[in-house]
Amino acid sequence: MALDVLAVAPLYQGPDINKIRLIAQTTKKSTTPPRPLAPAKTKLTTVETKRIMSVLDETIHKVELVTLLSYVASSSKNSEGMLGEDIMKAVREHEDLCQILLDRVSYLQEEERQLQEEEESEDEPWFRDRVLAIEVQKSHLQPLMQQIKESTKNIVRLLLRNPQAASLLQAQTLDRSAEAQSFIDSLVELRGFLFEKLLTSPMEARDRTQFIHDITRRNQRNQEIIDTLENELAACVRNRDAEVEKENFVIQELKNHLHQVLKFSENSLLRTKQEAKKQQKVDFRASQARVAKIQQDILLLQSQFNNLVMENREQEQALRKKKYKVETEIENWIQKYDLEMSEKQDEYEELEVIHKEEMLQLEELKKRHDVLVEEFSQIQAEREVSAKKRLEDEQEIVRMVRAATLIQALWKGFLVRSMLRSKKKKRSKSKEKGKEKEKGKGKGKGKGKK
């Protein structure tokens, strides 16, 4: 399949290889399974798996050769002495076919573009004729593509018949395009995946699937718990921030109000002093009463100021207590979260210890199984030897019975033939005696006539 895809592509259009979707390219992360899930086997044992791997290796080798045909075509003078005349002739023919295909495809694309620009004339006869002509030319591309496939297969056969030329061509890895190298790397990675899959038994695959399913389910459960706790923590933090912001807003308003009160008191004092200085000369006597009154006002304002300060301090203390309470609750939540996570970690460690003990038991059972398998193989071998011996004895008895039957048949045939011979002899003797008697009678008659 890979050779068919690469054979249809032109020699100088490397980016077309990107159109081949490969699953291996999406798995660039490490796919190495954990150590407990590694396959027990390290080598392929069955003939079918070895044949599968040999077919894949041969495909990779052929793809490596086909992806270097563009280099051979571009540097034909240097490659002619390296590959030989037959291979270079086949490469030139392949290049000509690819160029013809490229020209036809570009021509058809240009025609289709022109038809798309002239979609308004779809009902015209000449438009339908051009569409029909394009369809006919498209149908002629399939045989050309088949010729390119056959040409590619022919080049690969010639290279495989000449291992030295193939090895020299394969050594030119730097001249291969990045897309082709990525495709080959994907095939090599696919070979690794397939090799690991063939080494994995159905039991191991089932155990691996179950193990991954359990781990994923446990991880999802833990992640759900973590998400719930994080959401609760975020909600608590948001509530605390909102309350702190409200309290800061109230404190700022109180500070502004206090500042305004202080400023108002300072302004009033300044105004009072100015008025007192102006009226000092006018009503010195009445100023004392006014000063006393102003002092009483100052005392009153100071007492109000002190009362406001005390109230603000009490409110600030209450807000500080509330803030401390919120911080204590947050700290308790954090401690509770740490405690639960430590319990989960302890549970995980206990499960890991149990898993290690079960793996040790599994190793012991495997050792016992290997001993039992070896004993069973010995018993099986002994049974096969005894069965083989019994079969040989039965075959010997059959052969002896057949020989005896054959001997008896030959002896009966000999007896029958000997009896037939004796009968023939007796008949021949009786015939001879009869002839002699007839001759004697004839002689006697002749003498009587004379």
Residue where one domain finishes, among candidates 200, 227, 257:
200
Residues 66/3, Cβ–Cβ less than 8 Å: yes
Same domain, 190 and 263: no
* pLDDT on residue 24: 34
Domain assignment present for 287: yes
Strands (E), 315-409: none
Domain assignment present for 128: yes
Look at 13 and 245; give whichever has higher pLDDT. Answer: 245
Domain assignment present for 393: no
Residue where one domain finishes, among candidates 341, 361, 381:
361
What is the average per-residue pLDDT within 64-78? 68
Residues 104/141, Cβ–Cβ less than 8 Å: yes
Non-local (6+) Cβ contacts of 86 within 8 A are 158
* pLDDT on residue 407: 92
What is the average per-residue pLDDT within 112-122? 71
What is the average per-residue pLDDT within 208-231? 89
Same domain, 288 and 169: no
* pLDDT on residue 107: 81
Lowest mean pLDDT among 105-119, 257-271, 401-415, 428-442: 428-442
pLDDT band with cut points at 50, 70 and 90 for residue 230: very high
Lowest mean pLDDT among 14-28, 116-130, 433-447: 14-28
Domain assignment present for 424: no
Residue among 154, 169, 195 nearest 64 (CA): 169
* pLDDT on residue 49: 77
pLDDT band with cut points at 50, 70 and 90 for residue 77: low
Domain assignment present for 23: yes
* pLDDT on residue 132: 76
Q: Cα dist. 70→66, 267, 334 in Å? A: 8, 96, 65
Rounded (5°) CA angle 254-259-262: 125
Collapse the DSSP code of 96 into the 3-class scheme (helix H, G, I; strand E, B; otherwise coil) and give the result. helix
Look at 320 and 288; give whichever has higher pLDDT. Answer: 320
Domain assignment present for 314: yes
**Burial classification of residue 34, based on how many CB atoms lie within 10 Å of its CB (0-12 exposed, 13-18 middle, 19 or more buried):** exposed
Look at 130 and 227; give whichever has higher pLDDT. Answer: 227
Same domain, 130 and 247: no
Expressed as residue numbers, the domain containing 193 is 2-30+38-200
* Cα distance between residue 97 and residue 450, in whole Å: 118
User: What pTM was estimated for this model as a whole?
Assistant: 0.35
pLDDT band with cut points at 50, 70 and 90 for residue 360: very high
To the nearest whole percent, how much of the chain has pLDDT over 70?
Answer: 76
Same domain, 193 and 266: no
Determine which helix (DSSP H) or strand (DSSP E) holds 298, and give its type and residue range: helix 284-449
* pLDDT on residue 261: 85
To the nearest whole percent, how much of the chain has pLDDT over 90?
Answer: 11
Same domain, 111 and 44: yes
pLDDT band with cut points at 50, 70 and 90 for residue 260: confident
* pLDDT on residue 227: 92
Same domain, 226 and 330: yes
What's the token pair of residue 330? Answer: 């947050």
Residue where one domain finishes, among candidates 165, 200, 235:
200
Same domain, 152 and 240: no
Where do we find the tokens 């050792």? 367
Same domain, 192 and 220: no
Lowest mean pLDDT among 70-79, 354-363, 420-429: 70-79
Same domain, 75 and 103: yes
Same domain, 154 and 16: yes
* pLDDT on residue 222: 92
Model pLDDT for residues 177-207, shown as the tens digit of each residue: 778 778 888 888 888 878 877 777 677 778 7
What is the average per-residue pLDDT within 30-56? 64
* Cα distance between residue 277 and residue 293, in whole Å: 16
Domain assignment present for 434: no
Structural domain count of the chain: 2
* Cα distance between residue 385 and residue 379, in whole Å: 10
Residues 198/53, Cβ–Cβ less than 8 Å: yes
Neighbours of 234 (CB within 10 A): 10
Same domain, 190 and 128: yes
* Cα distance between residue 352 and residue 345, in whole Å: 10
Same domain, 51 and 177: yes
Domain assignment present for 423: no
pLDDT band with cut points at 50, 70 and 90 for residue 12: very low
